[in-house]
Amino acid sequence: MELTIAEYIIGGGVGLLTLVQLLYLFIIYNAPHRRCVAERKGESAPSGHPGLSVVISASDQETLLAKHLPRILEQNYPDFEVIVVDDNSKDDTKELLERLAKQYPHLYMTHTSDSIRYISHKKLALTLGIKAAKKEWVVFIEPDCYPISNQWLARLARHCTDSVDVVLAYSNYERKPGFANLCYMYDTLLQQLRILGLTLRGKGYMGIGRNMAYRRELFFTHKGYSRHLDLERGEDDLFINEHVPAHRITADINAESVVRCTSTSGRTWRNDKLIRLFIRQKIHGIAPYLLGGDTFTRVLLYIATWAGVATGIIRQAWWLVATAAVLWLLVLGLRILVLHRTAHDLGERRYNVSLVLFDLIQPCWELYFRLRLRLMPKDMHMRRKV
């Protein structure tokens, strides 16, 4: 039986999409593992030891601070301080911080005023914290997050050298039972590996404030968040994207620098997804589109594979069935291998057979959030008078 044009197109499409997916896997997703291997071999050993100021903005989060602050205050690092900005808390946050300050002399606190209506309180709180900082570098973490190791600050500090302005590290939700938690963690794993992978390839373009450090002078040189005070968020991703050259952003890939977040509810995850998608529309450069291409080409590969198998069976073109199936299995197997190794490096939950399911449904929830964002009011994530 002669080969038809359709068979040629489908076979060629599967081959091209396989190549694209392999490039994503080995250039971006595998970059964190390569860094870990290099460090184990002693090929990459930065040695910065600057003073660090950890800045935390908290609003009515007394319980979380009581649980997580000691892990931050008891870091094994010789020169650091922790500054908590109380953003108009109505609970007993102030009293908690006063008690902890007696036990930990390197804990300081300040507070925001409720008089400003059209400026993001999160950005105002962080600005006050950075201004109060006395150290050369500022480190950011959220009240609902905690470092899993007392070497967290030491790991970040290793990269605070003359050639670097920003240091990123991995963060994800806390592991809990249930399928929903698996979804949240898998989605965050993918997003984090994309950002960190590009960063390690010298193409860093943003940061995530749950686990990030940058030079304090960087904030003042570029007038802080003045360009986006009307946005509720964007204090990490937009600020880094607009003011820091890609080659001056680096990342630490190690289980000791991982931060866990305890707010793993569906509502928290959905809100974070929508905010990130909204902010991504304002990020400069091709990186967001490049990373979005990973999901898009993966979906196309699935479609092309199914089309190839179905067409091959109908026309009895077994070469097409075999080609489509083998290439898809190749991509899937290598994807499992790459993500499994990197998850191991980070002390993360492993994904093996379950990866097939998540690979199928992850594009679905991405589409859902994009459609939902388009239907939301344009000023949904803008600062509004309260």
Q: Is residue 264 predicted with pLDDT exceeding 50?
A: yes
Whether the predicted pLDDT of 351 surpasses 80: no
Interval 229-258 mean pLDDT: 87
In a domain? residue 185 = no
Q: What is the DSSP letter of 24?
A: I
Per-residue pLDDT reduced to its tens digit, 298-339: 999 999 999 999 988 888 888 888 999 999 999 999 999 999
Q: Is 239 or 377 the better-scoring residue by pLDDT? A: 239
> pLDDT tier at 3 (50, 70, 90 boundaries)?
low
Task: For residue 108, give the H/E element and its range.
Answer: strand 107-111
- Rounded to whole angstroms, how far apart are CA atoms 259 and 188? 12
Query: Do residues 264 and 364 share a domain?
Result: no
Q: What is the mean pLDDT of residues 102-128?
A: 79
* Max avg pLDDT among 160-164, 232-236, 371-375: 160-164
Q: Does the structure show a pLDDT above 70 at 247?
A: yes
186 exposed, middle or buried (CB, 10 Å; 0-12, 13-18, 19+)? buried
The DSSP secondary-structure symbol of 220 reads H
Looking at the predicted structure, is the pLDDT value of residue 384 above 50?
Answer: no
Domain boundary among 261, 285, 309: 285
**Mean pLDDT computed over 352-371:** 84
Last residue of a domain, one of 270, 285, 300: 285
| Domain assignment of residue 350, yes or no | yes
What's residue 292's pLDDT?
86
**What's the CATH code of the domain at 274?**
3.90.550.10
DSSP-based three-state secondary structure for 263: coil
Cα 150 to Cα 256: distance, rounded to the nearest angstrom:
8
Check whether residue 222 and residue 299 sit in a common domain.
Answer: no
The residue segments making up the domain with residue 16 are 5-28+289-374
**Domain total of the chain:** 2
Same-domain check for residues 206 and 294: no
**Is 381 a domain residue?**
no
Q: What percent of the chain has pLDDT over 90?
A: 48
Query: How much is the pLDDT for 67?
Result: 93
Looking at residue 183, its pLDDT comes to 86
Helix 179-198 × helix 287-315 angle, to 10°: 120
If one counts every other C-beta atom within 10 angstroms of the C-beta of residue 206, the result is 28
What's the CA gap between 309 and 319, in Å, rounded? 10
- Residues 272, 365 within the same domain: no
Tell me: do 231 and 122 sit in the same domain: yes
User: What's residue 9's pLDDT?
Assistant: 85
Give percent of the chain with pLDDT exceeding 70.
92
**Does position 128 have pLDDT exceeding 70, yes or no?**
yes
Asked whether residue 52 is domain-assigned, the answer is yes
Residue 265 lies in a domain: yes
Better-predicted residue by pLDDT, 72 or 39: 72
pLDDT at 379: 60
| Cβ atoms within 10 Å of 33's Cβ, excluding its own | 22
> 69 and 23, same structural domain?
no
The radius of gyration of the chain's CA atoms, rounded to the nearest angstrom, is 23
Q: Is residue 112 part of a domain?
A: yes
At 146 the pLDDT is 95
pLDDT tens-digit readout, 167-213: 999 999 988 888 888 888 898 999 999 999 999 999 999 888 899 99
Q: Which residue type does 374 have?
A: R
Query: How far does CA 355 lie from the centroid of its chain?
Result: 19
Do 281 and 206 meet the contact criterion of CB atoms below 8 Å apart? no
Query: Hey, which of 91-105, 220-234, 370-384 has the most confident mean pLDDT?
Result: 91-105
Mean pLDDT of 28-50: 84
52 and 132 fall within a common domain: yes
**Is a pLDDT exceeding 70 seen at residue 120?**
no
Q: How far apart are CA 78 and CA 96, in angstroms?
A: 24
Residue 1: pLDDT over 60: no
If asked whether residues 330 and 203 sit together in one domain, one would say no
pLDDT at res. 357: 86
Query: 380 lies in a domain?
Result: no
**In the Cβ-directed half-sphere of 165, how many Cα atoms lie within 13 Å?**
19
Does pLDDT of 87 surpass 90?
no
Neighbours of 29 (CB within 10 A): 22
Same domain, 258 and 315: no
Reduced to 3 states, what is the DSSP secondary structure of residue 107? strand
Mean pLDDT score of the chain: 87
Six token digits for residue 127 = 């600005």
**How much of the chain is helix, strand and coil, in % rounded to 5?**
55, 10, 30
Paired with 239 in beta bridges are: none
Q: How many helices (H) and strands (E) does the chain have?
A: 13, 10
Q: Are 240 and 157 in contact (CB under 8 A)?
A: no
Q: How confident is the model at residue 149 (pLDDT cuts 50, 70, 90)?
A: very high
Same domain, 168 and 223: yes
One domain for residues 296 and 275? no
- Check whether 16 has a pLDDT greater than 90: yes
Q: Closest Cα partner for 75 from 98, 58, 52, 56?
A: 52
Sheet of 171-173: strands edge to edge? 145-147, 259-261, 171-173
Contact by Cβ (8 Å): 157, 49? yes
Any domain includes 36: no
* Per-residue pLDDT at 344 exceeds 50: yes
Tell me how crowded residue 223 is: count the other CB atoms within 10 A of its CB: 9
Q: Are residues 150 and 281 in the same domain?
A: yes
Helix (H) or strand (E) holding 214: strand 212-215
Give the residue from 285, 309, 324 where a domain finishes.
Answer: 285
